[in-house]
């Protein structure tokens, strides 16, 4: 297993702000699509995580989902609106961690906008299903790790670093300040 914390190779730090941060967040979420959404049960010691496919990352960096009011996620959000989102694309060594808060609504306009065949499979009663909810995740903090090249080039840089002992910059990581 490769580790970005060894002495022979490193990731440069590139903190991004405002529109650049939103663009990077959108790029990674759109590329990876399915992330693990973590909510915090009222009477639990551990995070509750479920895979979620994003519907949209808007111009402000908010991430939108459709989900059910009958889910554990909805129950947790009723008592604690704090959420964590984790995205991982191991094939390209791209990762994203987001902490923020959630806003839940029954916005029919958004439901209509996001409705598709995949969502239809989750809601048998269609767009008018009374259990459909819109989830908006508003990021408070985010951090990313992204390589500078494709996986094969990164692998060869790591291998060369191991053989020569020379430090190689294999990617970048940083805060996304939205």
* Tens digit of each residue's pLDDT, the chain (178 residues): 344 444 444 778 999 999 999 999 999 999 999 999 999 999 988 999 999 999 999 999 999 999 999 999 999 999 999 999 999 998 888 999 999 999 999 999 999 999 999 999 999 899 999 999 999 999 999 999 998 655 544 554 455 455 555 555 567 899 999 9
**Residue 44: per-residue pLDDT:** 87
How many Cα atoms are found within 13 Å in the side-chain-facing hemisphere of 132? 22
7 phi, psi to nearest 5 deg: -85, -15
The residue length of the chain stands at 178
3-state secondary structure of 31: helix
Which residue from 75, 142, 139 is spatially nearest to 104, judged by alpha carbons?
75
CB 141 within 8 A of CB 100: yes
Strands 132-147 and 168-177: antiparallel
pTM score: 0.84
DSSP 79: H
**Residue 93: per-residue pLDDT:** 85
**Residue 171: per-residue pLDDT:** 79
Distances (CA, A) of 52 to 138, 163, 167, 173: 15, 41, 37, 24
CA 152 remoteness from chain centre: 24
Strands, DSSP E only, in the chain?
9-13, 16-17, 34-39, 48-53, 56-57, 63-68, 82-89, 94-105, 132-147, 168-177
- Other C-beta atoms closer than 10 Å to the C-beta of 116 total 11
**Residue 164: per-residue pLDDT:** 53
Cross-strand bridge partners of residue 48: 39
What is the distance between the terminal CA atoms of the chain, rounded to a whole angstrom? 32
Please state which architecture CATH assigns to domain 18-147.
Answer: Roll (2.30)
Taking each continuous run of H as one helix and of E as one strand, the counts in the chain are 5, 10
Residue tagged 């053989």 (tokens): 163
């Amino acid at each position: 297993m490769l580790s970005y914390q060894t002495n022979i190779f490193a990731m440069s730090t590139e903190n991004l702000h405002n529109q650049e941060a939103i663009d990077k967040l959108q790029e990674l979420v759109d590329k990876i699509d399915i992330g693990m959404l973590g909510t915090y049960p009222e009477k639990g010691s551990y995070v509750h995580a479920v895979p979620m496919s994003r519907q949209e990352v808007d111009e402000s960096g908010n991430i939108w989902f459709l989900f059910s009011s009958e889910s554990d996620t909805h129950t947790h959000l009723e008592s604690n609106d704090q959420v964590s989102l984790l995205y991982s694309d191991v094939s390209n060594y791209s990762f994203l961690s987001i902490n923020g808060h959630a806003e839940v609504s029954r916005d029919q306009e958004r439901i209509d906008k996001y409705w598709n065949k995949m969502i239809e499979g989750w809601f048998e009663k269609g767009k008018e299903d009374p259990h459909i909810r819109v989830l908006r995740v508003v990021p408070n903090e985010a951090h990313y790790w992204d390589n500078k090249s494709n996986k094969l080039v990164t692998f060869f840089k790591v291998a060369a670093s191991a053989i020569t002992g020379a430090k190689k910059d294999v990617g970048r990581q940083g805060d996304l300040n939205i």
